[in-house]
Structure 1
Amino acid sequence: MKQIKDYHHKKVLVLGLAKSGVSAASLLHKLGAFVTVNDSKPLNENPEAQELLEQGITVICGSHPIELLDEGFQLIVKNPGIPYHNPMIQRAMEKGIPIITEVELAYCVSEAPFLAITGSNGKTTTTTLLFNMLEEDNKKPLIAGNIGTVASDVAQMAEKDNNIVIELSSFQLMGIDQFKPKIAIITNIYDAHLDYHGTREEYAKAKGYITKNQEEADYLIVNIEQEAVMDIARRSKATIIPFSAQRELKLGAFVKDGSIYFHDEKIMDVKDIVLPGAHNLENILSSVAAAKLTGAKNESIIAVLNTFEGVKHRLQYIGEIKGRRFYNDSKATNILATKNALAAFSAPTILLAGGLDRGNEFDELLPALKNVKAMITFGETAEKMERLGKMAGIKNIQRVDNVEKAVPAAFDFSEQGDVILLSPACASWDQYKTFEVRGDIFINAVHKLK
């Protein structure tokens, strides 16, 4: 870890805890900052805050008092989930207090370069693939961010010969200042998190921050088929490496004659890839490009793609019961992810869908429902999902209280050879703390059926 002086004797407010806030507060304390932590959860229900208190860090819990900002803080480290329209954040911006997220701290202390992945869909799969390829090639990767350990924890133990592979959300990227990945990937950009960002333009702008500090010696790997992504690429100073699953390219990663190529070098045949779904081919291409740029050998890349079946909660195969195949796609928190999941199957499908209502309709899903024979709906959007199902001419539609009850209900509508798919097209926060919790409940309910 770099022993930097940037935060020494600086008065810093860590706003919001969770894992990233705890890590940020502890790291800042080590770096000699005068740290105050503010979290909305009461202290007696907040073991993380109690732990920081024992370290000698000032802790204020139970609310976010705006008058706290009158105490002369020079920096705020914000939990990524706190929106910028939050009154506390608005007041801080009015006072000109710089606001960063924990990933910026990680970058400042890391000895190792960052390989950063963002996008609306596919970033977890891409991150996992890249990590596995580098691990297979003995490139000493460490995994961090939304998919792994908190970035600033990883950065503290990273050495110069490591590579930190990190999945980053738009929320995290809005809080960077100096962060500069050696390699950045933008998988795609679709409408997402508009309740946080306000507009698609602001959301795309946040995604583009991943390359704002990159230079010509750095690489930006981009989906050439997406204008929103290419618009970011045109403004980047990095060396652009495109990928496409639809056409042959002069350089970059692409498919030609049924094989994956990087530049003019054949890597492997597409038919030998285990991971299902046409959308996953794009994730594979971007991860291959990053692995090759990091110096990974073809043999290592092929070994991973010959065996990698996917990540948990993303089209995860759970098992088969009496000829019905169960898939957990709880990470499908938007319409595109569910469209991609449905496109991966030709068998009759029972779709389990619903969740947090962000104000949008689901008409875009209509063409993807051609193989759906029944729908089980739940959560705040259950009624909207039912309306969609009726528009698609689906005769069997049932509303249930939650995911646990959706599994036996789906089984009752199913026959041998059917797919039972949890792919909610919505965030989980109306009923579950995370999409992982939602997916685990689905998995447990399937096991109960057995």
Structure 2
Amino acid sequence: MKQAEQYQNQHVLVLGLAKSGYAAARLLHQLGANVTVNDGKSLEDNPQAQELIEQGIEVICGSHPLSLLDKQVDLIIKNPGIPYSNVLLVEAEKKNIPIQTEIELAYQISEADIIAITGSNGKTTTTTLITEMLYNSGRSPLVAGNIGIVACEVAEQATNDDIIVMELSSFQLMGTDKFRPKISVLLNLFDAHLDYHGTKQHYINAKARIQAQQQESDFLVYNVSDEIINEIAQSSSATKIGFSTSQLVPNGLDVADGYIRYRTKPMIAVKDIMLPGKHNIENILAAVGATILAGASLTQIQHVLKTFGGVEHRLQFVKNQNERLFYNDSKATNILATSKALEAFDKPVILLAGGLDRGNSFESLIPSLRGVKSVITYGETKDKIAETARSINIQSVQVVNKIEEAVTAAYEESEAGDVILLSPACASWDQFKTFEERGQAFIKAINDL
């Protein structure tokens, strides 16, 4: 790793532990910074904090006292999940103390080139596709960021023979300063995380930081059909490679005559791609563009597209049981994601949906629900979604309590050739700790049929 001498003797406050805070604190200590760690958990319940104390790092647990700013603080590295409305951060901004995430630290020490991916939807699928294509092409990709290992931990071990493939959220990007990936990928932008960012413009500004420091020798792979991303791209200094599923992009990636094309040359027939869904074609175009720029082989790109069946819990094919096709899309925690999942299939769909009630209606799901064979709802939002489905005369609507009951009901109602799709359109926290736990419960219920 690069030594990043700018951190030596700096007084750095690491706010919030979890994996990223722990890794950042340990690394900054190694780089010669004077590190203080502050975490809301009590010390007794905080083994990570106890480990850092044993390494000679000052740790203050249990609250976020403003007195931490009474002494010299040159930099704050914060956990991405802590909002900027936190009183300590508000006071730090008044004092003009830089506030960053460990993504900036990872960039400063990395010897490896970075491919960075962001967007409202599709980040994990695109990141995984890029990683698979590079790995199959003999490169050495290291996955980091929002999936995989904490970015600064990966960067610490990476050499210039590696390439870091980094999935980034708006929370992580908002805390960057000089971050400059070799290749940035901008997928799409929809209303999201407004409770964190406050306004849509702040959310857009955070996402745009992925390319803010790029120069002409760097590359921006971007969705030309997304109006907001197109605006960001026009102001970028990077060399631009556009992609679109709805218009031709002669100098980039598009779809024409049933083929994915790069600079008008056909690469692979859409019918030969294993991953279903128009939205996944967008992810594929982005991944192909990034990996071509990173030196992946066309043969291996084609091989991955013919064999890659999806990321776990993201429109993941689970199994074919008596000619019923089960798909796990537990990651669809909002209406937009479920809409895209429904648009992916041209077979009859039995939709399983429901979860945490955040007070929203489901009227915007109606266009995608038209043509669905059956809807089975569960969880806090079961009645709301059922009412929406009945309002457009879907032939069969059932209301149950739990996901296991929904699976049984869907199978009993299904016929050969049907798709049984879990795509909840809601967060999982009414009945599960995470969307992953929800997806695993769905898969177990299928296997228990």
TM-score after normalising by structure 1: 0.94
Separation in structure 2 between the aligned mates of residue 84 and residue 313 of structure 1, nearest angstrom: 30
Which residue identity lines up with residue 255 of structure 2 in the other structure? Answer: V
- Aligned 1:329-368 pairs, distance under 5 A: 329-368=329-368
Which residue identity lines up with residue 261 of structure 1 in the other structure? Answer: R
Q: Deviations over 1:409-443 (max 9, x none)?
A: 44344444432211122333444333222222222
Separation in structure 2 between the aligned mates of residue 405 and residue 180 of structure 1, nearest angstrom: 49
Q: Does 1:213 align with 2:213?
A: yes
Which residue identity lines up with residue 433 of structure 1 in the other structure? Answer: K
Question: Secondary structure of 1:22's match?
Answer: helix
Which residue identity lines up with residue 256 of structure 1 in the other structure? Answer: A
1:115 corresponding residue in structure 2:
115
Q: Verify the 8 A CA contact 1:346 1:371 in the aligned structure 2.
A: no
Q: Quick check: 439-448 or 378-387, which moved more? A: 378-387
Q: Quick check: 59-68 or 138-147, which moved more? A: 59-68
Separation in structure 1 between the aligned mates of residue 37 and residue 381 of structure 2, nearest angstrom: 36
1:172 corresponding residue in structure 2:
172
Where does the alignment leave 5 or more consecutive residues of structure 1 unmatched? none
Separation in structure 2 between the aligned mates of residue 376 and residue 189 of structure 1, nearest angstrom: 30
Q: Verify the 8 A CA contact 1:351 1:423 in the aligned structure 2.
A: yes
Question: Secondary structure of 2:234's match?
Answer: helix
Shift of 1:75: 1.3
Shift of 1:8: 1.3
Separation in structure 2 between the aligned mates of residue 212 and residue 279 of structure 1, nearest angstrom: 26
Question: Secondary structure of 2:217's match?
Answer: coil
Q: Verify the 8 A CA contact 1:396 1:413 in the aligned structure 2.
A: no
- CA 1:269–1:322 in 2, change beyond 3 Å: closer, same or farther? closer
- CA 1:64–1:437 in 2, change beyond 3 Å: closer, same or farther? farther
Separation in structure 1 between the aligned mates of residue 99 and residue 60 of structure 2, nearest angstrom: 19
Separation in structure 1 between the aligned mates of residue 422 and residue 265 of structure 2, nearest angstrom: 38
Q: Deviations over 1:349-397 (max 9, x none)?
A: 3322233444433222101112334333344444432332232323644
Where does the alignment leave 5 or more consecutive residues of structure 2 unmatched? none
Question: Secondary structure of 2:53's match?
Answer: helix
- Aligned 1:109-258 pairs, distance under 5 A: 109-258=109-258
Q: Verify the 8 A CA contact 1:347 1:371 in the aligned structure 2.
A: no
Question: Secondary structure of 1:331's match?
Answer: coil
- CA 1:55–1:319 in 2, change beyond 3 Å: closer, same or farther? same
Shift of 1:113: 1.0
Shift of 1:142: 1.0
Q: Verify the 8 A CA contact 1:111 1:160 in the aligned structure 2.
A: yes
Q: Does 1:434 align with 2:434?
A: yes
Aligned length: 449
1:279 corresponding residue in structure 2:
279
Q: Verify the 8 A CA contact 2:370 2:394 in the aligned structure 1.
A: no
Q: Deviations over 1:44-75 (max 9, x none)?
A: 22222222222222222222223333233221
- CA 1:359–1:140 in 2, change beyond 3 Å: closer, same or farther? same
Question: Secondary structure of 1:306's match?
Answer: helix
- CA 1:84–1:416 in 2, change beyond 3 Å: closer, same or farther? same
Q: Quick check: 187-196 or 102-111, which moved more? A: 187-196
Q: Verify the 8 A CA contact 2:376 2:406 in the aligned structure 1.
A: yes
Separation in structure 2 between the aligned mates of residue 166 and residue 378 of structure 1, nearest angstrom: 35
Q: Quick check: 120-129 or 83-92, which moved more? A: 83-92
TM-score after normalising by structure 2: 0.94
Q: Verify the 8 A CA contact 2:225 2:247 in the aligned structure 1.
A: no
Q: Does 1:52 align with 2:52?
A: yes
Identity %: 57
Q: Quick check: 375-384 or 435-444, which moved more? A: 375-384
Q: Verify the 8 A CA contact 1:377 1:406 in the aligned structure 2.
A: yes
Which residue identity lines up with residue 278 of structure 2 in the other structure? Answer: A
Separation in structure 2 between the aligned mates of residue 291 and residue 8 of structure 1, nearest angstrom: 36
1:305 corresponding residue in structure 2:
305
Separation in structure 2 between the aligned mates of residue 280 and residue 140 of structure 1, nearest angstrom: 24
- CA 1:279–1:216 in 2, change beyond 3 Å: closer, same or farther? same
- CA 1:8–1:404 in 2, change beyond 3 Å: closer, same or farther? farther
Shift of 1:405: 4.5
Separation in structure 2 between the aligned mates of residue 270 and residue 4 of structure 1, nearest angstrom: 45
Q: Please tell me the root mean square deviation across aligned C-alpha atoms, in Å.
A: 2.0
Which residue identity lines up with residue 168 of structure 1 in the other structure? Answer: L
Q: Deviations over 1:270-292 (max 9, x none)?
A: 22211111111111111111111
1:445 corresponding residue in structure 2:
445
Separation in structure 1 between the aligned mates of residue 56 and residue 229 of structure 2, nearest angstrom: 45
- CA 1:36–1:294 in 2, change beyond 3 Å: closer, same or farther? same
Q: Deviations over 1:306-348 (max 9, x none)?
A: 2111111111111233443221101112222111111122333
Question: Secondary structure of 1:286's match?
Answer: helix
- CA 1:393–1:42 in 2, change beyond 3 Å: closer, same or farther? farther
Q: Deviations over 1:66-92 (max 9, x none)?
A: 333323322111111111122222222
Which residue identity lines up with residue 387 of structure 1 in the other structure? Answer: E
Separation in structure 2 between the aligned mates of residue 107 and residue 357 of structure 1, nearest angstrom: 39
Separation in structure 2 between the aligned mates of residue 78 and residue 356 of structure 1, nearest angstrom: 28
Which residue identity lines up with residue 289 of structure 1 in the other structure? Answer: G
Separation in structure 2 between the aligned mates of residue 358 and residue 430 of structure 1, nearest angstrom: 10
Separation in structure 2 between the aligned mates of residue 185 and residue 26 of structure 1, nearest angstrom: 30
- Aligned 1:264-275 pairs, distance under 5 A: 264-275=264-275
Q: Quick check: 359-368 or 93-102, which moved more? A: 359-368
Q: Verify the 8 A CA contact 2:221 2:290 in the aligned structure 1.
A: yes
Q: Verify the 8 A CA contact 2:276 2:345 in the aligned structure 1.
A: no
Q: Deviations over 1:195-224 (max 9, x none)?
A: 212222222221111111111111111111
Question: Secondary structure of 1:127's match?
Answer: helix
- CA 1:268–1:196 in 2, change beyond 3 Å: closer, same or farther? same
Separation in structure 2 between the aligned mates of residue 398 and residue 97 of structure 1, nearest angstrom: 55
Shift of 1:406: 3.6
